[in-house]
Structure 1
Amino acid sequence: MVYVTPQNTTRSLRGAAARTVEVYDFRRPTTLAREHSRALEVAFETFARQWGTQLTAKVRVKSQVTSEQVMMQTYDEYAASLPATTAMVMLKLEGFDSSAVVQFPTSSALSWVARMLGGNGSLPAPDRKFTQLEQALVKRLMEDALEDLRYSLGPLLPTAVSLNSIHYNSQFAQAAAPNDLMVVSQFAILVGENRATATVALPAELLMPQLGAANPTTSLEEAPGLLRRQMSSVPVDVSIGLVPSAVRPEAILNLTVGDLVRTKHPSQRPLEVTVAGQRIAQAALGKNGPRLAARITDIEENRA
């Protein structure tokens, strides 16, 4: 039995007031289905390899880009997770109001530019806006990266994409409405000894229709047909031999080279074709070039 006292009631009300309840819209889930997530991971892993190769060629030092995770976030959540000062390259999507984003630290981009201009890029660079020359070189890097992104996503990216602008304040850059869902992929970039974290954000409304077509779901009514088609391609062991004969153990134990084992298989009777011990057909001996073969003479239907 539980006794309710004024103190318990007050404590309970305080606990209820401390909890926050968020409304979840099941029509717009903020998580990716497993098959969709895997398809995106494969695409972004391909992009990471291509981007790393492109950086190596441009900055003339060994570079590596690794795809770390793919997630679904609202644009507001995505922007809040970024540093206040960072490079956000806006990508214009034909037919869409929202933009895609390629984000990376400005300090890392400045070290890449320094290497492209003949420096070693080892000195730490401050987080600041790019000069006109630096911005032109960064845009050249992004144009090549954009080609890699188009290639990696393939049919998942059905619309034309082009560079639009570069923003430096994540809180003021408006690539999409605050509640719009974005597919965000996070990357680790290693250029020489310099490490950085970058992200690519694409509107979910751009990718999800293609993901559904690339990973269609099937109904339960189609399961028997799918199972039959799958089983038809599974390899099985087929045996061709004589009719089995019963032999005593002493005859087996005393077998020597040259002994004859009598069988009950008549000389005029065809051989038996079996799968997993189940007889399915009869066959006669034949040849296929230099090899022995069995020619099927009769099919036995299993009506069990």
Structure 2
Amino acid sequence: MNHCVTRPENGPAPTGRSRRGEPRTYDFRRPTKLSREHVRVLQIAQEAFARQTTTVLTTMLRAGARLELLGIEQHSYDDYVASLPDPCFLATFTIEPLAGKGVLAYPLDIAMAAVDHMLGGSGSADQPDRPMTVMETAITNHLLGRLLSELAGSFSHIIELQPELSEIEYNPQLAQAASGSDTVMVASYTIGIGSRSGEATLVLPFSSFQVPLNNAASPQLSESAQAKRRRAFEALNERLTQVPVDVGVRFAPLEVSSEDLLSLAVGDVLLLRHPQDAPLEVTTNEVTFAYAIASNHRRRLAAAIVPTPATSQNRAQKDTA
């Protein structure tokens, strides 16, 4: 059974940065696999990629360029392909050492304008709506190589990737980077070159990135780091056993009224009312941790530790209950 929440008629369509309370479509047959931690880790990488790509485009095209992250979402590959215009510029690439392929897609006119800029043009003229020629493809491949290099650097805190350009397609249906039902992570960007702007997407397979994302969200310590932590724990434990602690041996506490306390004078006697057969309390920091009886050791007063009285055990059990 498929349930979904739809937006109100004439309302704004869902985007990567939806406002709080805005209805969003949810397909219960394809539950969300991207956790909040995954999105946080991906956002760091995708924003770094956007910054570096902006620098590369501006340098290589010698024109104002920008790439800004809009949001990161999960889709099936079929749903993603259905959202793309036809024709569209799509570059598929391998993501060694991981399995599967990634996709970088943006409007065809922006791809043609980029070639125009690299050949010394202004990029403002009407661009042809056709596949690229061999020369145009070679020029674009050089640019894509730089972008994939920046992608590897941006994802280095997740996994060391070695992306390689696979092929270029113009019909989204022919760019078979994944099976139709596969879950993919779609990062949406606003891309602009000169006066042209549009939406770009970077698609990565979730199944391939799941383990690296889990590790990046909850980093696992290396063996050397674990050994260092064990040595620190052992050193701390050893030092703690040598820390001096003030210990007191006392009779049972005595309660007196304020009037009696203020009227005490030299020579007055306070009855401690400590039972003769009851052991003394051994305390530290107002916490009783043992019991003892008065004794002596080599002409010194001492306290011999004795078993905990049954009455004290019963009282502790009652307090715990």
Using structure 2 for the length normalisation, give the TM-score: 0.58
> How big is each residue's C-alpha offset from its partner over 1:16-48, in whole Å with a ceiling of 9 and x where there is no partner?
xxxxx96625xxx33421111111111101100
Task: Identify the residue that residue 64 of structure 2 maps to in structure 1.
Answer: 62
CA distance in structure 2 between the partners assigned to 1:118 and 1:217 by the alignment: 47
The residue matched to 2:181 in structure 1 has which SS?
A: coil
CA distance in structure 1 between the partners assigned to 2:219 and 2:114 by the alignment: 44
Identity level (%):
32
Is the radius of gyration larger for structure 1 or structure 2? 2
- Give the C-alpha shift of residue 58 in structure 1: 0.6
Task: Identify the residue that residue 171 of structure 2 maps to in structure 1.
Answer: 169
CA distance in structure 2 between the partners assigned to 1:217 and 1:147 by the alignment: 24
- Give the C-alpha shift of residue 92 in structure 1: 1.7
Task: Identify the residue that residue 150 of structure 1 maps to in structure 2.
Answer: 152
CA distance in structure 2 between the partners assigned to 1:67 and 1:205 by the alignment: 22
Matched, 1:41 2:25: no
1:104 aligned residue (100, 103, 106): 106
The residue matched to 2:88 in structure 1 has which SS?
A: strand
CA distance in structure 2 between the partners assigned to 1:22 and 1:183 by the alignment: 16
CA distance in structure 1 between the partners assigned to 2:112 and 2:183 by the alignment: 31
1:91 aligned residue (84, 90, 93): 93
- Give the C-alpha shift of residue 99 in structure 1: 1.3
> How big is each residue's C-alpha offset from its partner over 1:92-133, in whole Å with a ceiling of 9 and x where there is no partner?
233655311111111111111111111101112133100111
- Kindly provide the amino acid, as one letter, of the partner of residue 72 in structure 2: V
Using structure 1 for the length normalisation, give the TM-score: 0.61
Aligned length: 201
CA distance in structure 2 between the partners assigned to 1:91 and 1:65 by the alignment: 20
CA distance in structure 1 between the partners assigned to 2:91 and 2:170 by the alignment: 9
> Structure 2 regions of 5+ residues with no counterpart?
1-25, 221-283, 289-321
Matches within 5 A, 1:94-133: 94=96, 98-133=100-135
CA distance in structure 2 between the partners assigned to 1:77 and 1:185 by the alignment: 14
- Give the C-alpha shift of residue 159 in structure 1: 4.3
Task: Identify the residue that residue 188 of structure 2 maps to in structure 1.
Answer: 186
CA distance in structure 1 between the partners assigned to 2:65 and 2:162 by the alignment: 28
CA distance in structure 2 between the partners assigned to 1:188 and 1:197 by the alignment: 5
The residue matched to 1:88 in structure 2 has which SS?
A: strand
Matched, 1:214 2:219: no
> Structure 1 regions of 5+ residues with no counterpart?
1-20, 219-299
Please tell me the root mean square deviation across aligned C-alpha atoms, in Å.
Answer: 2.4
The residue matched to 2:90 in structure 1 has which SS?
A: strand
- Give the C-alpha shift of residue 143 in structure 1: 0.4
The residue matched to 1:154 in structure 2 has which SS?
A: coil
